[in-house]
Structure 1
């Protein structure tokens, strides 16, 4: 481990800069078996108002629709203006190239029918947020959750939702029936916890993908000799802690580890910032699992 090691200051700068990776446009693919039209303006506006309150439909055509959720705003110093982010919905188009490579397909734990859906859905509606990177990270997460839930209402023939930034996928029904607390839904919907066996060894790797959209770090565990399900649960607990507390974790800090399959204060693991071992390259918090750790640090 540490093949691409940078110091913590540089990694935190990577997370805080408005570059190509952290804070990028959030992209959603709505997967369809049959081609559909852009819904009527009044229908779309009504659903957006249900989820966002006051909205301005500033664009509606056969090609795309655009909405301004007025409850959010970003201040632009140059123009001395407060501007809401833009939620853009494109027309339904053919899926001309595979949306996922083989590695991404192997990580679709949350969608049991993923192979069938990817084989039968030949069309997609792409939705994005624009000018949203400057929002407070919890506001952006809340906006994305409401946007996703509005979209699956807006497009009843949608079979599944694929999140481009994390390669995570859920069926439409799973999103419609999701009953977890709203403040937990961003991680549930949009952050993928991945698992890999390292070829030729007993080593395993669990990492997360999707937090950088909020300028927060992903996680990485390189280990052996432990039930990976316990590590996945630990990762979700850590993601929630990072999200709830605006990531207070620094290199050299200790965090609670795992004992008997559960988080325990009796076990302390040291963490440090690194670039991810597995693509895409991004800043992660690497968690040294003590006697279960693999690789060098």
Structure 2
């Protein structure tokens, strides 16, 4: 875990709930826009029926015909956009974001030194889809991109600040909405200065209008809490957020005593990024002996 000291920036509004899902593909060398026929074929293999409504050296756009965003005036297909290759400047990703890239710790410095080019992909109108449909569509779009750009070195998921090697994306065996939790949600870790308390939170759930999670705890292995956060995030997504304020969720702390712990849940504003609604998860009690913590 990082020992760097960061101060919360209260002016940072963080990711906009329901905002576009943004994927940055990073490359060592420039890449050309793939051929229109090739792009349409890959999109149809991964996403389903599509219509290419624009394709030139600057932009490619596809209407996902099986994914209709419903508005007051009618239904329109979600649009999936891909930009041309452009310079990538790693200085735009600050030290705080880099400190929370846990999935790529050994490679992140190398990636930011070697990768000088990027291709950006984005969904449009997708916020109007049911949350599980959007999660699956974005991950199908990701699979198409991984196929179309074989020289991509890494994927940076802007909504959650997660960086992953391209090989991890291409070799992923997860299915369904678990893919979104893997690539679209990041779990961050913080020590609270001058206390023994720790905080773990998620970033990325708000893209689907779901609450992100915050865990407040002490005296526990943070790696276990990270795993619990990913599992609970998956549960919220798969079940359309069934947890109400005041309810508890259970877990088991792996260790010498293998203690069972209850976590009390409460909705509130985020400490780290104030505009996000979060489900605050606090260690409530040991089940054995009902001893309060």
Q: Is the 8 A contact 2:33 2:84 kept in 1?
A: yes
Greater length-normalized contact order (CA 8 Å, ≥ 6 residues apart): 1
What does 1:169-208 align with in structure 2 at a 5 Å threshold? 169-208=163-202
1:42 aligned residue:
37
Unaligned runs of 5+ in 2: 1-14, 287-293
Alignment TM-score, normalising by the size of structure 2: 0.87
TM-aligned CA distance change 1:280 to 1:35, over 3 Å: farther
2:99 aligned residue:
106
* Aligned counterpart in structure 2 of residue 25 of structure 1, from 20, 44, 47: 20
Give me the CA root mean square deviation. Answer: 1.9
Matched, 1:76 2:57: no
Aligned partners of 2:120 and 2:108: how far apart in 1?
A: 18
Aligned partners of 2:185 and 2:71: how far apart in 1?
A: 29
Q: Is the 8 A contact 1:100 1:167 kept in 2?
A: no
* Aligned counterpart in structure 1 of residue 142 of structure 2, from 134, 139, 148: 148
Q: Is the 8 A contact 2:70 2:129 kept in 1?
A: no
Aligned partners of 2:165 and 2:254: how far apart in 1?
A: 33
Q: Is the 8 A contact 1:68 1:86 kept in 2?
A: yes
* Length, aligned pairs only: 270
Q: Is the 8 A contact 2:51 2:63 kept in 1?
A: yes
1:234 aligned residue:
228
Matched, 1:166 2:186: no
2:291 aligned residue:
none
- Residue 23 of structure 1: SS of its match in structure 2? coil
Aligned partners of 1:108 and 1:287: how far apart in 2?
A: 22
1:115 aligned residue:
109
- Stretch deviating more after TM superposition (200-209 or 184-193): 200-209
Matched, 1:53 2:78: no
* Cα distance, 1:198 vs structure 2: 2.0
Moved over 3 A (4+): 257-262, 264-267
1:4 aligned residue:
none
- Residue 252 of structure 1: SS of its match in structure 2? coil
Q: Is the 8 A contact 2:26 2:117 kept in 1?
A: yes
- Residue 249 of structure 1: SS of its match in structure 2? coil
* Cα offsets for 1:13-44 (capped at 9, x unmatched): xxxxxxx7110011110001111111110111
Matched, 1:89 2:74: no
Alignment TM-score, normalising by the size of structure 1: 0.86
Aligned partners of 2:203 and 2:214: how far apart in 1?
A: 10
